[in-house]
Chain A
Amino acid sequence: MHSVSVKDLSLSFGPVEVLQKLDIDINDGEFLVLLGSSGCGKSTLLNCIAGLLDITDGQIFIKGRNVTWDEPSQRGIGMVFQSYALYPQMSVEGNLSFGLKNAKMPAAEISKRVGRAAEILQIGPLLKRKPAALSGGQRQRVAIGRALVRDVDVFLFDEPLSNLDAKLRADLRVELKQLHRQLKNTMIYVTHDQVEAMTLADRIAIMRDGSIQQLAKPDEIYNRPVNRYVADFIGSPSMNFMQGSIGAKGLTIGDVTLSIDGYKSATKLAKDDVIVGVRPEHVATGNDVADAVYCTKVTADLLEPMGADTLVWTKFAGHEMRFRMDGQVRLEEGQEVEIGLSPENLHLFDKVTEERL
């Protein structure tokens, strides 16, 4: 049985179609990340699942029950918001117990649950404080606690970490992952940060303009993006794209021709113009060049040292290209470097539809 199923869901604000016929099935205990750039409809989808927005068409099932017209509190979901949305006039304890009091739960049970949530999230000493007296990370824990005490089936997170500074974000990311291991709840997590998505997700749904481009495991999305948009979106620094064409001798990019025998294509490759993608980290350098199918020398036009790696900007076959080198290798701008390409590391997309070939 699926934990959450969204069937044929559409939502319009007046004439604007924000979500278009979405279908998603989320497994029990799965951590699903909705990833997409700002304004693509991630929060809207999450709000629909939560019941905070009335949908235009379609159905939503949670734990096999049709909840399309249920109130948010009856859906067995808990939600954590980007702005934390803690009730400012209530103490942490008041914030945690508000939902339980609304459900008219006996006081003993409330204090038991609040105690347990406080223990899991390590916010016991903060229970008497007001939200204003908490740090950003502590506030976010309380916001998670508010969902936790209600003992819900599904956790919904709307960019819960994006108001925190980078270091804290990384820490809380790990904590969230551990929390998921511990609770084993279904979690739906909205973010525009691909690092969060890759590290947390069991599966990622890449959204664009209210539709889902690809719904797959993180490594599948990274290694076999279904179209150019996904390929461009995932990976940092992002993929290099070049114009190419497939002919009898293989793939031609500008004045370069290389064999594509090792390329695992979805369909039989026809002789046609294509878009060639290669990730900066998949351009072979140093000792790896020897194993590459095609190798050549290029000039390092510009260097961006990043510590562990150095990003090198160059021209390859008439196209701007970036590739990654070991940060320890000494290199000067203007110097020549040997690089290599292999067909299994290339991504080919149809020039017109931009779909993966």
Chain B
Amino acid sequence: MADLAFKDACGPRPKKAFTLPNFIIYTTLTLLAIYYLAPLYVMIVTSLKTMPEVRLGNVFSLPQEVTIEPWIKAWATACTGLNCDGLSRGFWNSVQILVPSVVLSIAVASVNGYALAFWRFKGANLLFTILLFGAFIPYQVMLYPIVMILRDIGLYGDVWGLVIVHSIFGMPILTLLFRNYFSSLPEELFKAARVDGAGFWRILIRVLLPMSAPIVVVAIILQVTGIWNDFLFGVVYTRPESYPMTVQLNNIVNSTFGEKEYNVNMAATILTGLVPLVVYFVSGKLFVRGIAAGAVKG
């Protein structure tokens, strides 16, 4: 009897066959996936249709005749009220806003987080609290005061004005992120570097930043998506010739000449969303790992 019982259960655990809970879980997941993917599907097929086909109104049907004309038009020739060079202008404007904003905000926030985590100067906690508080102030409240400040320092309407605004608004959350990440690193490492005679900057640059790839990736993702998707600051703080892509998109979609070109609008919208989308796909895994690393210790 004993042997038999032994033989009964041996080797890998047998796979559970189809069960009701599994059925429910997978059905729900599939339905949710369809629900969320449906708009994307509609956008893609519409953007590949010709205008006569769009007019038929079958939004879910596949294009009978695939065309990339709408994409080309959206990128290069679509008209806003002011000009007719499509989204390309907005794309390059956005890049010019994005790159310095991301670099500047991460550079400053990493130093902030480092100082708060390791150099516990007098008032560090108070400063940190104030900074966190900044994360909860609604943008609308700050909108006009910032216009006045930028005008006073002569950067109103300038791309650099917008860069500074983006950097400041990213500061609370990025500083929190870096501070928590640095606090999770062993303090003995910092002490060892001090005994080795490294100063404030050398410890940061030679010892800590090389181990901070995960959190830098998280910061880049947060900033790239946040700044790329920004509309409000872009429209308020820049002039029409330097509007970012989102504003340009809005102007194309809302331009009132003639009939609405849904295929062009769909293509333009996908083009605008492409940058954050690519960032997510490329670095999704790193993102999760980085968030986890920063979240372990508060």
B-contacting residues of A (Cβ < 8 Å)? Answer: 47, 50, 52, 71-73, 77-79, 81-83, 85-89, 98-99, 102-103, 146, 150
Contact = CB atoms under 8 A, between A and B. Distances in A.
Contact of A82 (B188, B199, B202, B206): B188
A54 to B, nearest CB: 10
A85 B189 contact: yes
A337 B197 CA distance: 63
A102 B195 contact: no
A39 to B, nearest CB: 17
Interface in B196-226: 196-199, 202, 206-207, 210-211
A146 B198 CA distance: 13
What secondary structure prevails in chain B residues at the interface with A?
A: helix
Contacts of B198: 98-99, 102
A72 B203 CA distance: 14
B297 interface: no
Contacts of B271: none
Nearest to A89: B210
A73 B199 CA distance: 10
B186 interface: yes
B192 interface: yes
B202 A102 contact: yes
A52 B210 CA distance: 23
Contact of A85 (B192, B202, B206): B192
Contacts of A50: 191, 195
Contacts of A146: 192, 196
A146 B207 CA distance: 15
Contacts of B195: 50, 52, 72-73, 77-79, 99
A140 B236 CA distance: 58
Contact of B197 (A73, A82, A87, A89): A73
A287 B98 CA distance: 88
Max chain A CB contacts within 10 Å: which of B189, B192, B197? B192
Contact of A52 (B186, B191, B197): B191
Given A88-B211, A102-B202, A81 B188 contact: yes
Contacts of A72: 191, 194-195, 197
Contacts of B186: 83, 85
B193 interface: yes
> Across chains A and B, which 3 residue pairs bring their CB atoms closest together, nearest first?
A73-B197, A99-B196, A89-B210
Nearest to A80: B192
Contacts of A77: 195
A99 B207 CA distance: 12
Given A85-B186, A103-B197, A79 B211 contact: no
A88 B198 CA distance: 16
Contacts of B192: 79, 81, 85-87, 146
Contacts, number: 59
Contact of A87 (B191, B194, B199, B207): B207
Given A87-B207, A89-B210, A98-B206, A73 B189 contact: no
B211 A89 contact: yes
A321 to B, nearest CB: 43
Contact of A99 (B189, B191, B197): B197
Interface in B53-93: none
Nearest to A97: B196
13 contacts: A50-B191, A72-B191, A72-B194, A73-B194, A73-B197, A79-B191, A79-B192, A83-B188, A85-B188, A87-B189, A89-B210, A98-B193, A102-B197
B191 A81 contact: yes
Contacts of B199: 102
B72 to A, nearest CB: 46
Contacts of B210: 89
B215 to A, nearest CB: 15
A98 B188 contact: no
Contacts of B189: 85, 87
Given A52-B194, A88-B211, A150-B196, 15 more contacts: A50-B191, A50-B195, A52-B191, A73-B194, A73-B195, A81-B188, A81-B192, A83-B188, A86-B192, A87-B192, A87-B207, A98-B196, A98-B198, A102-B198, A102-B202
B200 to A, nearest CB: 12
Nearest to B209: A89
A102 B191 contact: no
A60 to B, nearest CB: 15
Nearest to B199: A102
A89 B192 CA distance: 14
Given A88-B211, A89-B210, A102 B188 contact: no
Nearest to B192: A85
Contacts of B193: 87, 98
Contacts of B206: 87, 98
A102 B211 contact: no
Contacts of A86: 192
A305 to B, nearest CB: 34
A79 B190 CA distance: 12
A71 B195 CA distance: 8
Max chain A CB contacts within 10 Å: which of B195, B202, B207, B211? B195
A102 B196 CA distance: 7
A71 B191 CA distance: 12
A134 B188 CA distance: 19
Nearest to A88: B211
Contacts of A79: 191-192, 195
